[in-house]
Amino acid sequence: MPVRPPKIGGMSHPNPPQNKPTANAAATDAVKPSNFLRQIIESDLEKGTYASRRWAGSPGDAAHHASGQPDPAKIRTRFPPEPNGYLHVGHAKSICLNFGLARDYGGVCHLRFDDTNPEKEDTEYVNSIIDAVQWLGFSWAQPGNNQPYQASDYFDFMYRAAEALIEAGYAYVDEQSAEEMGVNRGDFGKPGVDSPYRARTPAENLAIFRQMKHGQHADGAMVLRAKIDMASPNINLRDPAIYRIRRATHHNTGDAWCIYPMYTYAHPIEDALEQLTHSICTLEFEDQRPFYDWLMACLIEVDLLANPPPRQYEFARLNLTYVITSKRKLAQLVNENKVSAWDDPRMPTIVGLRRRGYTPASLQQFAERIGVTKSDSWIDYATLEGCLREDLELKAHRGMAVLNPVKLVLVNWDEVMGAGHLEPCTQPALAHPPEGEPTPALRHFTIGKEVWIEREDFEEVPPKGYKRLFPGNKVRLKGGYVIECTGCSKDDTGAITQVLANVVPDTKSGTPGSDLVKVKAAITWVGVAGGVNAEVRMYDRLFLDAQPDAGGKDFLESLNPNSLRVLTAIVEPSLANAMPGQNFQFERHGYFVADRSDHSSTKPVFNLSVGLKDSWGK
Ligand code: ATP
Ligand code: MG
């Protein structure tokens, strides 16, 4: 693991520098729509719920924080991913939410790797998570501490807390088998049955728990359970397991431990050591909240954790149509080669979205727009696409590309323009140049006797209402000249090989009198002389079913066989000079991005990010 958080308090006592929370991302001045989380935070700030909290500069126990200064962060939130896969669009929502709230309310958001499960974590994932959060525009850095936290650094404290619970009579070692424990837990209609081991004395429990720690018992032979209430209507309070024996090498702590805390025990402790105020999680944890509060109360009672404790709040996870948001299932797509990699532009991972051409601003806007609610719902994929379009409409340079080319020959060119003449043309690089810009950026290209046009822009026999090229009709070559179609040539099979037209002199775009010749359509084109061949990857949704994995459906069955079509297109010269990752609007076709991995000026590669809102008219 490359990141080393500072030592946690309670084991060492660093002398922290004066802390002040840092600003996060660019706070926008716009008034944010309120939501239940904002209301809770605003009410806590008004009441001063957390005003007495102290912060010793690093995570730690009650004594550690008592030695610190009043917490300069008004609130503390966290984003706690398990480093067992790449983050997806659902995590992006959680990141924007947690970091956004901290930013908006003068707080700090912690990035914490929830790595208490020894078997699944990987450094590759840790690094990708760090990249994803930073790319989205957020930072967890605080003065004196630039490192993310990791939950495994709290193992010592978690163990100490477990001993304290045992001593206070709040936990016991249970040697029932997993099956017995399952049966004795009862169910919704039936109270549980006390374990025969439940009445053990604290001294007995402590001795056996220490044996567990020292490797004197086999994996699975026993667990440490919280002693709460086997008849509770909330099954999560029927003496949940909090420690298990598992001989596994941990990526951070190696073989130091053969017992590991359960997630439901570890998570509240992680929050408390970090002095969080608002611990925001998804709805499936709602039933765990009573245990969260129980554990906090017990550990405050035994003077291990600072008061007031963090509180947990739940919001509905993001469900996006045509998308799956489960790291496990996304891993399956990669491992079974249904996509090329985690960053395949069809993947809803943050790396995939980025490679597809999504921008941090578009994802932040998306998170803002969908807001937070307390009930599950599905968000239409079009909402995400709309946010990208809005961002790129203003930012993306324009360019022309011909995706399905046929050659257009201007038969009278040599005669009226001169043999071999190439006429320079310009068009604005941006559709909406920033206000007050003295000289808006221009794209340069040339027109000559031959240009590429889209096959669909010529019809020998035009359907009703068709306004583009057909014999006798005039159109404008966008940013070039008005031309009048004279016909086409064909090969032996009758396929059209060339479209023929005459250029109309004195109609060059931007020259005086150029609009005296009226046309009903302007078509996009690329000059044969300057045009550059490019690979264009046309992506479509990865699934045909709007809810590919809902209700336990096999999502592999609804994979879209046509989610990728690769075209050889011809693009205007300015596009060949694109930087990898640069966004463009290919006029009339949509938004495209120069592929981060494969694009180069000698071999341009573009990915379709999203189509244009208005479909191309007749
Ligand atoms: P997965 O099921 O894909 O593994 P997870 O919830 O187990 O997801 P974690 O790494 O544990 O993944 O999640 C980190 C944080 O991201 C959690 O706080 C979780 O609530 C949040 N999160 C995960 N998926 C979503 C989602 N679809 N919508 C909103 N938040 C999410
Ligand atoms: Mg998880």
Residues 273 and 135 in one domain: yes
Count of structural domains, the chain: 4
Give the mean model confidence (pLDDT) for residues 101-119.
94
Give the mean model confidence (pLDDT) for residues 555-561.
97
Q: Give whole-number Cα distances, 532 to 165, 363, 527, 535, 574, in Å.
A: 71, 32, 9, 10, 9
Q: Which domain holds residue 232?
A: 170-260
Residues 251 and 347 in one domain: no
Q: Give a yes or no: residue 292 inside a domain.
A: yes
Q: At 228, phi and psi to the nearest 5?
A: -120, -80
Question: Does 359 sit in the ligand 1 pocket, CB within 6 Å?
Answer: no
pLDDT at 608: 98
Residues 150 and 282 in one domain: yes
- The band of 421, judged by pLDDT with boundaries at 50, 70 and 90, is very high
Q: In this structure, which amino acid lies at residue 400?
A: M
Residues 451 and 552 in one domain: no
- Residue 586 pairs with which residues in a beta bridge? 399, 590
Q: Whose CA is nearest to atom 16 of ligand 1?
A: 91
Residues 392 and 413 in one domain: no
Ligand 1 mean position, distance from CA 83 (Å): 11
| Ligand 1 atom closest to 285 (CA) | 20
Residues 59 and 149 in one domain: yes
Residues 121 and 269 in one domain: yes
Give the mean model confidence (pLDDT) for residues 475-501.
97
Query: In this structure, what DSSP letter does residue 32 have?
Result: P
- Which residues are CB-contacts of 551 (< 8 A; sequence separation ≥ 6)? none
| Ligand 1 atom closest to 282 (CA) | 20
Q: Give a yes or no: residue 552 inside a domain.
A: yes
**3-class secondary-structure state, position 559:** strand
Give the mean model confidence (pLDDT) for residues 120-130.
86
Show the tokens assigned to 18.
Answer: 């004066």
Q: Give a yes or no: residue 161 inside a domain.
A: no
- The band of 9, judged by pLDDT with boundaries at 50, 70 and 90, is very low
- Which residues are CB-contacts of 570 (< 8 A; sequence separation ≥ 6)? 401, 402, 405, 452, 526, 531, 532, 533, 534
Residue 513 has pLDDT above 60, yes or no: yes
**3-class secondary-structure state, position 517:** coil
Residues 410 and 487 in one domain: yes
Q: Domain ends where: 260, 287, 302?
A: 260
What CATH number is given to the structural domain containing 309?
A: 3.40.50.620
What average pLDDT is seen over the chain? Answer: 93
Question: Does 78 sit in the ligand 1 pocket, CB within 6 Å?
Answer: no
- Our measurement of the distance from residue 234's CA atom to the centroid of its chain's CA atoms, rounded to an integer in Å, reads 34
Residue 87 has pLDDT above 70, yes or no: yes
Residues 206 and 271 in one domain: no
Residues 303 and 284 in one domain: yes
Q: What is the 3-state secondary structure (H, E, C) of 444-482?
A: EEEECCEEEEEHHHECCCCCCCCCCECCCCEEEECCCCE
- Our measurement of the distance from residue 550's CA atom to the centroid of its chain's CA atoms, rounded to an integer in Å, reads 21
Give the mean model confidence (pLDDT) for residues 604-609.
98
Do the Cβ atoms of 76 and 271 come closer than 8 Å?
Answer: no
- Residue 190 pairs with which residues in a beta bridge? 187
pLDDT at 15: 36
- Per-state percent for the chain, helix, strand, coil, to nearest 5: 30, 25, 50
What CATH number is given to the structural domain containing 191?
A: 3.90.800.10
Question: Does 184 sit in the ligand 1 pocket, CB within 6 Å?
Answer: no
Residues 49 and 197 in one domain: no
Looking at the CA of 328, which ligand is closest? 1
Please tell me the distance from the alpha carbon of residue 299 to that of residue 574, in angstroms, as a whole number: 64
Q: What is the DSSP string of 268-290?
A: HHHHHHTT-SEEEEEGGGGGGHH
Percent of the chain predicted with pLDDT > 90: 88
Do the Cβ atoms of 78 and 98 come closer than 8 Å?
Answer: yes
327 is an active site residue? yes
**3-class secondary-structure state, position 165:** helix
| Ligand 1 atom closest to 327 (CA) | 3
Residues 381 and 496 in one domain: no
pTM here is 0.92
Show the tokens assigned to 568.
Answer: 């050889």
**3-class secondary-structure state, position 301:** helix
- The band of 144, judged by pLDDT with boundaries at 50, 70 and 90, is confident
Query: In this structure, what DSSP letter does residue 239 have?
Result: -
508 is an active site residue? no
Residue 307 has pLDDT above 50, yes or no: yes
Could you say which of 7, 38, 160, 317 is catalytic?
317
Q: What is the DSSP string of 41-96?
A: HHHHHHHTTTTT-EE-SS---HHHHHTSEEPS-S-EEEE---SSS--BHHHHHHHH
Location of structure tokens 């030592």: 7
Q: Give a yes or no: residue 343 inside a domain.
A: yes
Please tell me the distance from the alpha carbon of residue 222 to that of residue 48, in angstroms, as a whole number: 44
Please tell me the distance from the alpha carbon of residue 2 to that of residue 144, in angstroms, as a whole number: 18
Is the sign of the CA dihedral 579, 87, 277, 15 positive or negative?
Answer: negative
Question: Does 281 sit in the ligand 1 pocket, CB within 6 Å?
Answer: yes
Ligand 2 mean position, distance from CA 80 (Å): 9
119 is an active site residue? no
Q: At 259, phi and psi to the nearest 5?
A: -120, 140
Q: Whose CA is nearest to atom 29 of ligand 1?
A: 317
Show the tokens assigned to 318.
Answer: 């993001």
Please tell me the distance from the alpha carbon of residue 62 to that of residue 529, in angstroms, as a whole number: 74
